[in-house]
Amino acid sequence: MPCCALAGIAHGFCAYRRIGDRSQADKEDPDLEVVDQVPILPPVNGYLFLDKAKFRASFAGDLDAAKAGFMADSQVPWGVNALDGTVTKAAWKTRPSWYMVTKDDRMIPPDAQRFMAKRAGATVVEEHGSHAIYVSRPEIVAGFIAKVASGVTVGSA
Protein backbone atom coordinates (compact mmCIF):
# COMPACT_ATOMS: atom_id res chain seq x y z
CA MET A 1 0.00 0.00 0.00
CA PRO A 2 1.40 3.44 -0.84
CA CYS A 3 2.57 5.59 2.05
CA CYS A 4 0.00 8.25 1.29
CA ALA A 5 -3.19 6.19 1.09
CA LEU A 6 -6.23 8.26 1.99
CA ALA A 7 -8.05 6.65 4.91
CA GLY A 8 -10.48 9.47 5.66
CA ILE A 9 -11.26 13.08 4.93
CA ALA A 10 -11.43 15.98 7.39
CA HIS A 11 -12.91 19.13 5.90
CA GLY A 12 -14.09 22.43 7.15
CA PHE A 13 -15.22 25.69 5.67
CA CYS A 14 -15.02 24.27 2.14
CA ALA A 15 -17.22 22.64 -0.45
CA TYR A 16 -17.95 18.95 -0.93
CA ARG A 17 -18.59 18.38 -4.61
CA ARG A 18 -20.35 15.56 -6.43
CA ILE A 19 -18.99 13.83 -9.52
CA GLY A 20 -19.79 16.07 -12.46
CA ASP A 21 -20.15 19.20 -10.29
CA ARG A 22 -18.42 22.35 -11.41
CA SER A 23 -17.16 24.84 -8.85
CA GLN A 24 -20.06 27.17 -9.66
CA ALA A 25 -22.61 24.34 -9.61
CA ASP A 26 -23.89 25.13 -6.12
CA LYS A 27 -25.08 28.53 -7.33
CA GLU A 28 -27.48 26.55 -9.50
CA ASP A 29 -28.64 24.33 -6.61
CA PRO A 30 -31.94 25.65 -5.27
CA ASP A 31 -31.27 24.06 -1.88
CA LEU A 32 -28.25 26.29 -1.23
CA GLU A 33 -28.15 29.95 -0.30
CA VAL A 34 -26.09 32.03 -2.71
CA VAL A 35 -23.61 34.44 -1.21
CA ASP A 36 -23.74 37.56 -3.32
CA GLN A 37 -21.65 39.58 -0.90
CA VAL A 38 -18.46 37.54 -1.46
CA PRO A 39 -16.13 40.30 -2.67
CA ILE A 40 -14.49 38.63 -5.64
CA LEU A 41 -13.04 41.29 -7.91
CA PRO A 42 -13.29 41.10 -11.70
CA PRO A 43 -10.54 38.93 -13.20
CA VAL A 44 -7.14 40.43 -13.98
CA ASN A 45 -5.06 38.47 -16.49
CA GLY A 46 -7.17 35.38 -15.78
CA TYR A 47 -6.81 35.53 -11.98
CA LEU A 48 -9.17 36.42 -9.15
CA PHE A 49 -8.62 38.19 -5.83
CA LEU A 50 -10.89 39.19 -3.00
CA ASP A 51 -11.40 42.92 -2.54
CA LYS A 52 -8.88 43.93 0.13
CA ALA A 53 -11.24 46.58 1.55
CA LYS A 54 -13.91 43.90 2.17
CA PHE A 55 -11.58 41.01 2.96
CA ARG A 56 -11.85 41.13 6.75
CA ALA A 57 -15.66 41.30 6.83
CA SER A 58 -16.11 38.43 4.40
CA PHE A 59 -13.12 36.15 5.02
CA ALA A 60 -11.56 36.92 8.39
CA GLY A 61 -14.13 38.66 10.58
CA ASP A 62 -12.78 37.11 13.77
CA LEU A 63 -9.22 38.37 13.27
CA ASP A 64 -7.83 41.71 14.33
CA ALA A 65 -7.46 44.32 11.61
CA ALA A 66 -3.68 43.94 11.31
CA LYS A 67 -3.76 40.16 10.81
CA ALA A 68 -6.71 40.31 8.42
CA GLY A 69 -4.93 43.11 6.53
CA PHE A 70 -1.81 40.98 6.21
CA MET A 71 -3.89 38.10 4.86
CA ALA A 72 -5.62 40.42 2.38
CA ASP A 73 -2.28 41.78 1.19
CA SER A 74 -0.74 38.30 0.83
CA GLN A 75 -3.59 36.60 -1.05
CA VAL A 76 -2.60 34.01 -3.61
CA PRO A 77 -4.67 34.57 -6.74
CA TRP A 78 -6.75 31.75 -8.11
CA GLY A 79 -7.40 31.18 -11.77
CA VAL A 80 -10.75 31.95 -13.34
CA ASN A 81 -10.61 28.49 -14.92
CA ALA A 82 -10.86 26.96 -11.44
CA LEU A 83 -14.50 28.07 -11.38
CA ASP A 84 -15.28 25.74 -14.26
CA GLY A 85 -13.31 22.75 -13.03
CA THR A 86 -15.35 19.54 -13.01
CA VAL A 87 -15.12 16.95 -10.25
CA THR A 88 -14.24 13.55 -11.71
CA LYS A 89 -13.93 11.65 -8.44
CA ALA A 90 -15.52 12.49 -5.10
CA ALA A 91 -13.35 10.99 -2.34
CA TRP A 92 -16.13 11.34 0.23
CA LYS A 93 -18.10 8.70 -1.66
CA THR A 94 -15.57 6.01 -0.74
CA ARG A 95 -13.95 7.34 2.45
CA PRO A 96 -15.28 8.31 5.86
CA SER A 97 -15.63 12.08 6.14
CA TRP A 98 -15.77 14.72 8.85
CA TYR A 99 -16.72 18.35 8.40
CA MET A 100 -16.24 21.42 10.58
CA VAL A 101 -19.00 23.93 9.93
CA THR A 102 -17.78 27.46 10.61
CA LYS A 103 -20.87 29.18 11.94
CA ASP A 104 -19.65 32.73 11.30
CA ASP A 105 -18.40 32.10 7.75
CA ARG A 106 -19.28 34.81 5.22
CA MET A 107 -17.65 33.03 2.25
CA ILE A 108 -19.59 29.74 2.35
CA PRO A 109 -22.83 30.11 4.33
CA PRO A 110 -23.17 27.69 7.26
CA ASP A 111 -26.40 26.28 5.80
CA ALA A 112 -24.57 25.50 2.54
CA GLN A 113 -21.78 23.84 4.54
CA ARG A 114 -24.34 21.75 6.44
CA PHE A 115 -26.05 20.75 3.20
CA MET A 116 -22.79 19.56 1.61
CA ALA A 117 -21.66 17.77 4.78
CA LYS A 118 -25.02 15.98 5.05
CA ARG A 119 -24.91 15.02 1.36
CA ALA A 120 -21.46 13.53 1.97
CA GLY A 121 -22.59 11.63 5.06
CA ALA A 122 -19.92 13.45 7.06
CA THR A 123 -19.67 13.52 10.82
CA VAL A 124 -20.24 17.19 11.60
CA VAL A 125 -18.74 19.47 14.24
CA GLU A 126 -19.84 23.11 14.44
CA GLU A 127 -17.64 25.92 15.72
CA HIS A 128 -17.91 29.68 15.87
CA GLY A 129 -15.39 31.15 13.50
CA SER A 130 -14.88 32.79 10.14
CA HIS A 131 -13.60 31.26 6.92
CA ALA A 132 -10.14 31.87 8.44
CA ILE A 133 -10.79 29.80 11.59
CA TYR A 134 -7.48 28.01 11.00
CA VAL A 135 -5.80 31.35 11.85
CA SER A 136 -8.23 32.72 14.46
CA ARG A 137 -8.71 29.46 16.38
CA PRO A 138 -5.90 27.11 15.34
CA GLU A 139 -6.25 25.02 18.49
CA ILE A 140 -9.84 24.15 17.54
CA VAL A 141 -8.84 23.15 14.00
CA ALA A 142 -5.82 21.16 15.21
CA GLY A 143 -7.98 19.39 17.80
CA PHE A 144 -10.55 18.53 15.14
CA ILE A 145 -7.87 17.08 12.86
CA ALA A 146 -6.25 15.16 15.74
CA LYS A 147 -9.60 13.68 16.77
CA VAL A 148 -10.36 12.61 13.21
CA ALA A 149 -6.86 11.18 12.72
CA SER A 150 -7.04 9.19 15.95
CA GLY A 151 -10.23 7.48 14.81
CA VAL A 152 -9.12 6.46 11.32
CA THR A 153 -6.76 3.63 10.55
CA VAL A 154 -5.29 2.73 7.18
CA GLY A 155 -7.37 -0.03 5.72
CA SER A 156 -10.49 0.97 7.67
CA ALA A 157 -11.97 2.93 4.82
Total number of domains constituting the chain? 1
This prediction's pTM: 0.77
Task: Identify the CATH number of the domain in which residue 87 sits.
Answer: 3.40.50.1820
In a domain, 2, yes or no: no
Most confident of 26-30, 79-83, 97-101: 97-101
Structural domain that includes position 64: 9-150
pLDDT at 24 over 60: no
The tens digit of pLDDT for each residue in 71-92 reads 999 999 989 888 777 878 888 8
Task: State whether residue 92 is helix, strand or coil.
Answer: helix
Please compute, for residue 17, the number of CA atoms within 13 A of its CA located in the half-sphere on the CB side. Answer: 17
Q: How far apart are CA 25 and CA 143, in angstroms?
A: 31
21: left (phi over 0), alpha (psi -120 to 50) or beta: beta
